[in-house]
Chain A
């Protein structure tokens, strides 16, 4: 059996990985909470963001953390445009059509990236990529710690945005009561697009936080999508705090069950939690009553 020190370290590792999961889930939960759609293109958009960070680094030597300042607004605009001019009009507001359109988008993005960047698995080399922070006997990866801090910061910023700004309030109004919001004079199509843009912006930050310690290839985003769904469900669809706490929790569960059951079977732990939560408390741990 493992010593408590190792289990403790596994928990820490899980928290650090889980934070980035949370950030990816944040985008998903936001879009779900407001638009009530399951965005199939989420993984492909994450891949696109990672390639954007990669390309900026390779072409202009932009540090991945600095590239947040460029990629985030870029992806906000991309998300806004996608929802406003592609997903919205093409799906006619019908759930199953939205699903198909986002599926079509994911095929398009993934293979577009394949055509541009080819299929190689690429990494970027930053001087701090191998840095560690020593805490007693523990060696904590510096890029992953930054990932943890960055994710929590983004979640807090997003939450502040939602409660403090007029746009944030409008988003919440649309999420709660679409018809009522329309009657209040809120431009629902605009709010939808803003929300989708915010979801993509979260992905851009996540991509920048991932790149110093991860790799990118045209299919890499898929690895994160299922786990992000789990987190969204666990945290309650549409809940920002839920996504953050759910992400950290799932990261921990994955890490510890991976340690105890093996990485492969450990994945079952996640899905069993997922199924149990859905069956027993489908609104999630933090979700509002349906």
Chain B
């Protein structure tokens, strides 16, 4: 179907429309909102590659987000490395951490909930270490010096940040679509659906999973690095806290796990919903989040295959299935 497996022309079209948004004279409130949606979408896209396509359900993508963010920040603040190089290094190191965690877990044969829990534990270990280690600034956190200049990856205009985030999300959209069409994508889905059968058919399961988690981690690390450059401040709870692991998987699953557009759609939907409930809530704190929780449950009840699934009823081809 069109939305489940969008043609490149559609992807380019969507990206072009989105790229045009700042030109409509949107206020910074909207741009700031959209930027953050894109960061979450990017983190979700990373999660989606391993979790949605490959069925490797991670609760610990905060590990990659945090490594990307801290690497970018530390290289600039402590070693005076150029921000753009730091950005690249953050992605590379995030990917490496993904590879290491993947190697340990996949070699031990961890799947389903077990894989989920071990990734959660890795993220927590990193959080505790980041909170204590001097190089991360410990509990005081790390502040990237405010020095607005394109060479520093800091921009006066919110629109530029928006475009950079959009470029990254767009690149992953296209990469994702290409993977779907290549053998690698087919292997991933095969592993998700039935790992033993995939192995019997000659798929090098470990290698495919490791490639997937490394790429997945790289994408989520990019989201972390982008966060660092935008907010210019990190502490252990921000970088490695469970919130981002949850945001990443929530965006992907609500949008439609294992689909190209799922994470972007999911991130927009969840954060749009968050803003709307905020507007609708009264004086009593918490009411807006109660509504948010209820709507989240309703969305799952009525769109069990993600929002994309609503538009592709009957198309069982790439449907994510349970894996316990």
Contacts and interface: CB of A to CB of B under 8 A. Distances in A.
A90 B298 CA distance: 7
Interface stretch (A19-27, A71-79, A104-112, A122-130): A104-112
Given A111-B290, A265-B132, A95 B253 contact: no
Contact of A108 (B108, B128, B253, B294): B294
A207 interface: no
B212 interface: no
B245 to A, nearest CB: 11
A109 B217 CA distance: 32
Nearest to A41: B293
A171 B296 CA distance: 30
Contacts of A92: 301, 304
Interface stretch (B20-28, B71-79, B113-121): B113-121
A101 interface: yes
Contacts of A272: 125
Contacts of B114: 233, 278, 282
A268 interface: yes
A47 to B, nearest CB: 13
B145 interface: no
Contact of A268 (B109, B128, B254, B323): B128
Contacts, number: 134
B117 A107 contact: no
B122 A275 contact: yes
A208 B253 CA distance: 36
Contact of B290 (A36, A112, A264, A279): A112
B289 interface: yes
A266 to B, nearest CB: 9
B304 A237 contact: no
Interface in A208-230: 218, 226, 229-230
Contact of A226 (B124, B129, B132, B290): B124
B290 A101 contact: no
Interface stretch (B8-16, B159-167, B280-288): B280-288
A274 B297 contact: no
A111 B277 CA distance: 13
Interface string A218-253: 100000001001100100010000000000000000
A265 B129 CA distance: 8
Given A111-B293, A264-B131, A271-B125, A94 B284 contact: no
Contacts of B285: 114-115, 119
Contacts of B253: 96-97, 99-100
Given A36-B324, A92-B304, A95-B323, A100 B121 contact: no
A100 B110 contact: no
Contacts of A51: none
Contact of B301 (A89, A109, A119): A89
Interface string B250-273: 100110010000000000000000
Contacts of A279: 104-105, 108, 110, 118
A267 interface: yes
Contacts of B57: 96
A86 B250 CA distance: 19
A41 to B, nearest CB: 10
Given A36-B324, A92-B304, A275 B121 contact: yes
A239 B273 CA distance: 39
Interface string A30-70: 00100010100000000000000000000000000000000
A267 B124 CA distance: 9
B168 interface: no
B292 interface: yes
A3 B105 CA distance: 39
Contact of A274 (B116, B117, B250): B117
Given A103-B296, A265-B132, A268-B129, A94 B110 contact: no
Given A32-B113, A230-B121, 16 more contacts: A90-B297, A95-B322, A97-B253, A101-B301, A103-B246, A104-B293, A105-B297, A111-B290, A115-B287, A119-B285, A264-B132, A267-B128, A268-B125, A271-B128, A274-B121, A275-B122
7 contacts: A90-B297, A107-B289, A115-B287, A264-B128, A275-B122, A278-B117, A278-B118
Interface of B: 57, 104-105, 108-110, 112-114, 116-118, 120-122, 124-125, 128-129, 131-132, 246, 250, 253-254, 257, 284-290, 292-294, 296-298, 300-301, 304, 320-324
Q: Which 8 A-B pairs have the closest CB atoms?
A: A108-B293, A114-B286, A104-B296, A107-B293, A111-B286, A111-B289, A90-B301, A115-B286
